Structure 1
Amino acid sequence: MRKTWIAAVACALSFGLAACGGSAPSGAAGGAGEGGVSPEGTIKIGSLHALSGAAAADGQQMDNGAKLAVEAINNAGGIAALGGAKLELLSADTQGKPEVGQSEAQRLVQEGAIGLVGAYQSAVTANVSAVAERNKVPLVIDVSSADSILEQGYKYSFRVQPSSTVLGTQAANYLTEVSTAAGAPAKTVAILHEQGPFGSAIRDSFTAEAQELGMTVGPAIAYDAASVPDLTTQMTQVKAAGVDVLVVAGYYRDGVLAAQAVQTVQPGVDAVYGVANGAFDLAQFPAEVGAAGEGFFDSNYHSDMTKPEMQELAKLYTERYGDTIRTGAVLSYDAVRVIAQALQTAASADPTAVRDAIASGEVDTLLASNGPIAFDEKGENRNAIPILMQVQDGTIRQVHPDSFAEAAPVYPAQPAPAAR
């Protein structure tokens, strides 16, 4: 069953590539043969993620997703337009540090990578995108939302997931729609966010749209996601503000800390509402925090679990790695497929030719979206959207908009108190 599905998906990709029917940069010479194909007949793609440190669980998932995509494409015969050349994934550990991501990206290019995928934390991706631009090697960003990454005028960086502006703006609209439909419109909101480019950009875009919609936003409380030991002090500030809704933008570890602090402090909000939160829409989250996370929302990019292909990939991932697949892994899977289709379309592994094919191509996605992956002139995926999810009875359910909903949203959803 597993091999059949891999071949089916990759063959479908190959047919799509066929229907779509220069020289390497100085840094890319190492390990690469003519046209970016190594003497062994492989084409190298670099995968840059945090494989150690606070975000290691997410980084390892994303690297695994990239590996599954490479495996699927190779099992289906490789890149037909290049004589069946196989893909080779070069994995690198950014440690979640911008300077390490930068040096590792340069190393992968020097080892012959003709394209890169990564890199999860926006601060890391900002440095990696600069390396990609300097070396004229395409970077397909799987996860990193900060608007500033693609505001540099770069030509070699492309983002699969929605930008911070899209994430924050749509999240504010979803909150208004869901709370108003429930007869309890959200009027006041506090924001708890990680202090880096990602959390700050989400704060700004959500705030701007929420204010346009008539909500009062504040306080906005920042924290260091890599080192914060707990969020009890910050949650006490939220409680003192007496707001209707608490918005939380951060990563997985700090998302768990937020849920624990909510349960301990009981801030008295109608809902805890994640915006691009790295925890609240993952199956691991309710399993880890239990009743503390019941009712939590998250407006985020997400795998579309109504698609049979996505259900099969989720099954394969669990069989292979003994874990539930996270959306980040699916984004990495799609990012590799973007590069693979570009190789086929260009009939070349020259990085500039691959870049041009990425810019003009379309690739079907396993994510909830408005259509296939297709990039605008800035490198943003014009069809990328978030959807709203909620923890209901310990399970993550898609609840809004109606076109993606598996269940109706429950609002208000006051957090449960700690058991006595």
Structure 2
Amino acid sequence: MQIRTRRATRILTAALAAGVLILTAGCSGGLASGGGGASADSGPIKLGMLAPFSGSESAFGNYMKFGAQLAIDEINAKGGIDGRKLSLEVQDDACDATTAVAAANKLVTDGVVASVGGYCSGATLPTLPIFNEAKIPMVIPAANSNELVKQKLPGVFLINGTGTQQAAAAVKYAQKSGAKTVGAINDATAYSKDLATSFTEQAKAAGLTVSLDAVITPGENDYSAVATQLANAKPDLVYWTGYYQEGGLIDRQSADAGFTGTFLVGDGSVDAKFAEIAGKGYTAHVLGTFTQTPDMLKGADKWIADYKKLAGADPGPYSTQSYDAVNVVAAAMTSAKGTAFDGVVKALEGLKDFKTLAGPLTFMPDHTRSGGGFVIVSIDGATGKFVLKDDLQG
């Protein structure tokens, strides 16, 4: 997924049961308080979430909120952590840096002891020093720009694969599909630029020719200039690393201009709205890099049913990562026997092959997820939804 001041970065029954067992077992003594909110030794353990609930990315806010809430409800149903229940404090960051800073300060004031939010990297980045100063660990479910990692803050951990890992998946598919020339288009925001740069650098290192490296201004209605530029450059594959609003337009306008190659999109564009914007007949050549969603995973029926019962709607992108983020934080607090920053950070660093919906999780020394888990998805012509095409294994 992933990091515009809009978005940065985007199992199963046995795994869920195992995760809950880890969270609820092995606690002894009182749960020591700590973290930014310095909560009392009784009462709910407050987790904070910043996500977009307004603006163009607002759909993702609910996906993340309900994913996190589902994990909290499951943990609480098992008795919570050392007898204390979890609660979720949600603030709208609108994928805007200024709004995010105010929202982060509100969560600190409200006494949260860990953050399980972060969708847009451009909005998440300025909140890092706020949570760090307040000694609040962050397990970020979606935002994944390398800029988040470059801050080298002790309490920042990424559930989603990084831009480097996502770009590697894009290059791998380009090679696998036989592409010789590639191109990249970004929208000059943190997440998008970072992903495009990583892709072009890795593509060149792999021996591919980069025939286009373009930048657009987000929020416009006409991208015919870059569409014509793309059609003239004629790469076998172009990687659009921005969001679906602009991506759908560029896809349609570049096809009209004569581009016939593969239009690969990053996780910021993997949404059914891409097909709506591009229009009928413009998505057969569109693929995406993404992490698997529940509908792509075997055995996820119960999880999906539980989510729908809670949310009244199907899960979407980053609902599973947010679910995982809560379970990861809760497991760390259980291991640390408290919410104190240093103890939770040490416990997060010590997680090895922790069972999550996205598969076993181990944090690397830089606090990124080992591997990345990115796959190739395509658009279902009937529904407009992205579905699994290639897991890039083998």
TM-score, normalised with respect to structure 1: 0.81
Matched-pair contact (CA < 8 Å) for 1:262–1:292: no
The RMSD of aligned alpha carbons is 2.7
Query: What is aligned with 1:250?
Result: 242
Query: What is aligned with 1:16?
Result: 22
Q: Equivalences for 1:329-340 in 2 at 5 Å?
A: 329-340=319-330
Distance 1:167 1:91 in 2: 28
Question: What is the Cα deviation at residue 402 of structure 1?
Answer: 5.6
Question: What is the Cα deviation at residue 285 of structure 1?
Answer: 4.2
Return closer, same or farther for 1:283/1:311 CA change in 2, 3 Å cut-off. farther
Return closer, same or farther for 1:277/1:340 CA change in 2, 3 Å cut-off. same
Q: Equivalences for 1:4-403 in 2 at 5 Å?
A: 11-17=17-23, 24-25=34-35, 27-29=36-38, 32-34=39-41, 37=42, 41-79=43-81, 82-83=82-83, 85-177=84-176, 179-180=177-178, 186-225=179-218, 227-263=219-255, 265-274=256-265, 276-280=266-270, 282-283=271-272, 285-286=274-275, 289-303=279-293, 305=295, 307-362=297-352, 363-367=354-358, 371-394=359-382, 396-401=386-391, 403=393
Distance 2:274 2:309 in 1: 20
SS in 2 for 1:298: strand
Opposite residue 350 of structure 1, the aligned amino acid is A
Greater relative contact order (Cα < 8 A, sep 6+)? 2
> Gaps (5+ residues) in structure 2?
1-11
Matched-pair contact (CA < 8 Å) for 1:252–1:277: no
SS in 2 for 1:382: coil
Question: What is the Cα deviation at residue 162 of structure 1?
Answer: 0.9
SS in 2 for 1:259: helix
SS in 2 for 1:345: helix
SS in 1 for 2:72: helix
Distance 1:70 1:359 in 2: 22
Distance 1:90 1:255 in 2: 33
Opposite residue 168 of structure 2, the aligned amino acid is T
> Per-residue CA shift, 1:208-249, capped at 9, x if unaligned?
111122222132222343x22343332122112222222111
Distance 2:137 2:264 in 1: 35
Distance 1:87 1:392 in 2: 38
> Gaps (5+ residues) in structure 1?
1-5, 181-185, 405-420
Return closer, same or farther for 1:392/1:334 CA change in 2, 3 Å cut-off. same
The alignment covers a number of residue pairs equal to 376
Matched-pair contact (CA < 8 Å) for 2:376–2:392: no
Return closer, same or farther for 1:10/1:206 CA change in 2, 3 Å cut-off. closer
SS in 1 for 2:116: strand
Distance 1:285 1:378 in 2: 33
Matched-pair contact (CA < 8 Å) for 1:137–1:352: no
Question: What is the Cα deviation at residue 23 of structure 1?
Answer: 6.1
Opposite residue 78 of structure 1, the aligned amino acid is G
Return closer, same or farther for 1:42/1:7 CA change in 2, 3 Å cut-off. farther
Matched-pair contact (CA < 8 Å) for 2:53–2:94: yes
> Per-residue CA shift, 1:80-139, capped at 9, x if unaligned?
xx22x1111000001111122122112212211110022111111111222222121100
Answer with 383-392 or 207-216: which moved more.
383-392
SS in 2 for 1:291: coil
SS in 2 for 1:51: coil
Distance 2:169 2:14 in 1: 35
> Per-residue CA shift, 1:175-204, capped at 9, x if unaligned?
111x23xxxxx1222212221111111111
SS in 2 for 1:118: coil
Return closer, same or farther for 1:145/1:204 CA change in 2, 3 Å cut-off. same
